[in-house]
Amino acid sequence: MSDPIQGSLPAELVQAMARHADRPAMRDRARHLSYGQLARAVAAMGAGLGDAAAVGIYGVPGVPLGAAVVAATVAGRPFVHLDPAMPDQVLGNILDELRIDTVIACQPVPQGRLPAACRVIEAAPCLTADAAPAQAATVDPGDPVYLVATSGTTGRPKCIPVTHDAAWLSYRWRDAHTPYGPGMRVGIYIFAIWELLRPLRDGAELVFPGLNDLMSPQALVAFLRDARIDEMLFTPSFLEKTLTAIAPDGGTPLPLRRVILNGEVVTPALAAEARRKLPGAEILNLYSICETHDISLTRLEDGCDGSVGVAMPHLRAVVLDDDDRPCPPGQPGRLHFEGPRMLGPGYVNRPEETAQRFRDLVIEGRAARLYDTGDQGFVAPDGRIHVLGRIAHMLKLRGHSIQTADLVQTLSGALRFRQAIPWVQQIPGQGQALILYYTADAEGADHNARHWGLGDGWRRMPADLARRLQAQLPRYCIPAWLVRLDEVPLHPVSGKCDHRALPPAPPADRIATGDAGPPVLTHAAAILGLAAADLDPDRSFQDQGGDSLSCVDFLIALEAAHGRPVDFEWALTLPLMRLHALLTQDEAARPDRPDRPGILLTGATGFLGGHVLARLAASLPPDQVIYCLVRPRNRDAQDRLMRAARDHGVDPARLRAVPGTLDQPMLGLDGDSHAGLARAVSRVIHCAAMVNLAVDRDHMEGRARTAIGHVLDFCRAAGAGLVFSSSTSAFPDQGGSFPEGPVRPFDGISGYGAAKIAAEAAIAASGVDALILRLPSLYDLDRPNPRDIYETVMAACARMGRAPRDLRFHMTDVRAAAQVMADHRPRGLVWANLVADRPVTVPGDMAPADWLDQAPLEPAMARFLRDAPDSLTADPACDNARARDLWPGDFDRISQARTLLARRLPAMASAPRHQGDPAFTG
């Protein structure tokens, strides 16, 4: 056993959870935990680990993953992150290599991804558990705290254990340079598994960006600002892209106080740009390697010498020449590190490679165990380390590690070559790219030509070969370019490959490929490393191997080519030629030029919006049209609008499609289109809404304020009144009577309800004439809305033949809501609750908890109902005097509960609950 260390990570984490119990610990777009709640979640997860020696943690960074990492650490169980993006073969090999039979699932695991014998612990239920806080496990300093699985360039990843001792020493050293404390917010996304433990030891809050926040530089900058992030770690490549979204003059400064760069060499140009655009932030360069944990940290200041700093205590830099002799200060060589407490034990089940990289040598007459970093560098007389680049056996590409020997072995199964040299180069006009230089004899060259169409010189990776390799390799491990050489250049002294003599990449536009065609195809081909002719124009950038990081390059290239903003979702997911069509529409088609007076409708293709569309078409004067704001997706906006029109019997001649978005100023239109539309529109009906019960309150409110702000700007420009569909989610599920007027968020309100209140407040403060119509769930007797919570509950009751006790909820006929919204002409500011006096009541005999255990519900819906059990007995009393004034005739006609139950639950609706329903006539 190793000598005991003075403290341990499990003990520090347990102490922090007790000390900061009431402070926020972590949040993502859907959830948030205090330190006290984290302690209970950790205990619940730890109780399920049993006798597992090591644990897999499956999922993307977020609160469930953060809690799972803490749980495994506190329990003293080494863990490995299982990225859902890993190919099945890689995932299975990790579990097999580490003999892992227990996995904490932080998101749903598709069937067949894990071995049948694998025990799965669902993280989500543990986040709300009421367990006693866990005790810290006793750990040995030499025990692994976690394991890192590298690139997987053979389909068999290399697994690297990091010891408790190395992590604890590293954290203590970093505390002096990057201290944390309560009130500090740390953005976490890359290298999450080892970065998230540091701040939690001292009471800081972790904030995980959502996928949408990482989809574009603009979105990430908005996340940093809105979430008030104090510190975030970036790869240099990702920071470089992020800085493009910050105005040259800086604009409103970001709250960032500290930026840590890691994973790649930081260029002087990037350092200067970061200091210029983030003047309030300290910019730090962290040099770290999995096998040694952290190494050094340096501040990037004006006049910095390009070093990565001095090695931390317990590590010593050793530079060796090709004969393993120490190099004097200032002389470049192969960079090694020595330090028995920091160096890991080696690679799991790879003794030969461990011996190759963790080298036992005699240095200046003494025995030493050194780790060979794979970096070329030197140590200055003052001890500062300078890294000049990679040598041969490991490469870095946008923060990813690529084992070259493993990669060559995998490629040899498809290509024929005598020698192969993977290398990363900067291609002018394209950015970093992985290149395979190779030599081949006549037989090998013939094989490559026949199977893959390869010849001499620079060739893009053939699409067929890329698809074959994707079954085994992550996308970043697939070379973008294949370069056949007559011979590999050799160093005149060492006789090894002289990487600096490899032919440099010409600019992307000078590499002969025969590419021609729209910018969408040429830019996608350049970034994916394919010939444009090899792309399938009917498939998306993502479908053909692109990921979110490379899509940022694609988006920036498209914006430059077309001179207009490009939606990230379009760039990533639309078929390429569909994307091309959207980006090249002429002004007459983007949008239709306003040619007649009318109204503007948002959400026309939604459940409520489609019925409003039908009512408007029937009630508007014949000289007026309906301008429909429709967000373009895979089908043309006009196509989707026409489908909605057909579904509701609307004459297409009454409609005008306006391809745009609520997320952008001027509704995503250019100035002339926005002004022309404003001149034509006299009224706005805003039905569009994002209904996602999993998104957290802060993000929902932020999105709602942005969207309603743009709608109100348009109303002011048009001098138009507004009809806004709000929700009774603004009220608790019980109690009342709730007013037809402004309300404040209540404790436990959903993000959707809070977003509606935020939008209502913005409307009230705007001075725009408006009707704010609060609606409960809506039904169509003939066509149920499959996305409605109570339609889902009734469908589950029908399938089971049973319902929970006291099941009740309010629903309003969607045609009634559409009629009020379409017929109202706003004058002043009016709130109205279009809610019946009595709820829909379903006869049931099961305890709600038992019903939820057996109900055929999607896991997300079941979790939501367990977390919000009052939703099954929702009966708020709502004032509705103003709504009665807006509704012509018998108000009871807005909700036909008896008829609804007879349609949805014919076997359960026989017991009389109402005297009868009056027929609805619009």
Residue 490 lies in a domain: no
HSE-CB for 544 with a 13 A CA cutoff: 30
Position 690 confidence tier, pLDDT thresholds 50, 70, 90: low
DSSP state of 724: E
Whether residue 290 contacts residue 346, with contact meaning beta carbons closer than 8 Å, is answered with no
Residue corresponding to tokens 């949008």: 591
Residues 380 and 416 occupy one common structural domain: no
pLDDT at 529: 65
CATH of the domain at 727: 3.40.50.720
Q: Quick one: what percent of the chain has pLDDT higher than 70?
A: 87
CATH of the domain at 323: 2.30.38.10
Q: How far is CA 906 from the centre of its chain?
A: 43
Residues 579 and 434 occupy one common structural domain: no
pLDDT at 303: 56
Residues 372 and 404 occupy one common structural domain: no
Using the predicted structure, report yes or no on whether residue 190 has a pLDDT greater than 70.
no
Using the predicted structure, report yes or no on whether residue 716 has a pLDDT greater than 80.
yes
CA distance 307 to 377: 10
Residue 887 lies in a domain: yes
Residues 26 and 131 occupy one common structural domain: yes
CATH of the domain at 567: 1.10.1200.10
CA distance 189 to 177: 21
pTM of the model: 0.55
The answer for residues whose C-beta is within 8 angstroms of residue 675's C-beta and 6 or more apart is 717
Residue 854 lies in a domain: no
How do residues 262-310 score in pLDDT, each as one tens digit?
A: 877 777 778 888 988 998 899 999 988 888 888 999 998 765 667 888 9
Token pair in block for residue 719 = 């001098």
How do residues 859-911 score in pLDDT, each as one tens digit?
A: 668 878 887 888 999 999 999 999 999 998 889 999 999 999 999 988 665 44
Residues 771 and 700 occupy one common structural domain: yes
Residue 152 lies in a domain: yes
Residue 141 lies in a domain: yes
pLDDT at 291: 87
pLDDT at 302: 61
241 or 367: whose pLDDT is higher?
367
512 or 684: whose pLDDT is higher?
684
Residues 26 and 152 occupy one common structural domain: yes
Task: List, in sequence order, every residue forming a beta bridge with 723; answer none if it has no partner.
Answer: 685, 771
Spell out the SS3 assignment of 232-280. EEECHHHHHHHHCCCCCCCCCCCCCCEEEECCCCCCHHHHHHHHHHCCC
Residues 750 and 830 occupy one common structural domain: yes
Residues 348 and 429 occupy one common structural domain: no
Last residue within a domain, chosen from 344, 359, 390: 390
Using the predicted structure, report yes or no on whether residue 2 has a pLDDT greater than 50.
no
Using the predicted structure, report yes or no on whether residue 493 has a pLDDT greater than 60.
no
Residues 116 and 28 occupy one common structural domain: yes
Residues 706 and 758 occupy one common structural domain: yes
pLDDT at 194: 76
Instruction: Supply the angle between the helices 751-766 and 697-718 in degrees, to the nearest 10.
Output: 30
Domain range for 13: 9-163
CATH of the domain at 471: 3.30.300.30
Residue 266 lies in a domain: no
Residue 145 lies in a domain: yes
Position 510 confidence tier, pLDDT thresholds 50, 70, 90: very low
DSSP state of 589: B
Residues 374 and 414 occupy one common structural domain: no
Residue 346 lies in a domain: yes
Last residue within a domain, chosen from 439, 464, 485: 485
> Averaged over 120-135, what is the pLDDT?
90
> Averaged over 502-516, what is the pLDDT?
59
> What's the total number of domains in the chain?
5
HSE-CB for 851 with a 13 A CA cutoff: 23
Whether residue 520 contacts residue 572, with contact meaning beta carbons closer than 8 Å, is answered with no
The chain-wide mean pLDDT, for the chain, equals 84
Please say whether the dihedral angle defined by the alpha carbons of residues 176, 181, 187 and 190, taken in this order, is positive or negative. positive
Residues 356 and 343 occupy one common structural domain: yes
Tell me which amino acid residue 746 is: F
737 upstream amide cis, omega within 30 of 0: yes
How do residues 817-840 score in pLDDT, each as one tens digit?
A: 999 999 999 999 999 999 999 999
Last residue within a domain, chosen from 122, 147, 163: 163
